[in-house]
Structure 1
């Protein structure tokens, strides 16, 4: 065999090897991306929120690290809780506001009783911070997890898009009842969840 043919055969073999390595690399990257996109996070409790001017403050880095955070806001006293419930009932009669209807459910059914307001805060894959009442009203659940790009009820398995809490096509019945979203601001590395829409003062 001539030297030219040997050289050509060697080049062809190297080219095939390089192409194979290239496609294996792409397949590996895709597999890693798919694994990360389906990563699951469970709620982590934050027990020392700051309450100020109708807002609940928690550290931004705590949410960024844990992805999904549970907060129980203790109402000042039983009278305050009853006032909130009475106000919500009256408001519900005048308006069809989703967060008010859910508040009525929460105050009546949360296992800790009417002295606590369960909240949820999470960070989406795009970096957006979302705050909401922590309840899946129809199935009476107060626990969620993040699965990939969706928020998932721990009890019924209904899923909503993390970015906008929009139900997905194959929801399991509670899709039209996402956790009611609350206004969020971020100041000086602190997330402030505005609960004033749930109070008479708001």
Structure 2
């Protein structure tokens, strides 16, 4: 917020932006100062548009918010709750970096709700998307069904570093996630590339910054 701007000026600008971008499912407001966090309640009262506000945001959180908002099956409340309670940053990439020292194998787990057979097909898709990425030759891709996912994660994590999950919907296990849609449209390859290289910030390609 520019020092020469008054809070009332900022409020009017934000109200105008919220009205412009709202498409019927509410607006997520990300702010870098706690003093701006209270704007959401005022905006909702004035415009009758549902809003949720998160303050003191980091770059990874903003990128994850953009990704979650671009998925059609997410609503404002679910995105807000996920970012405030479940999202812990891309900490598993730190484990991926440390594997250079402990020689643990890096693993990507593919998930399919229809069973292990479909997860194996997804495994092949992941291998094809990552085959030209430096470092991917030291990564195992393990298929799993939804029902046994937690057991698979517990077992694999005892001896390996799980650097990503790939599937239709994010199981919110605190592990970086890539959707099938992202793999198909090409964005997933870039995301996997950055995860495999151990970068903490996932590149966002062809993402939109508001809820649908």
TM-score by length of 1: 0.27
Structure number with greater Rg is 1
Q: Which is helix-richer, 1 or 2?
A: 2
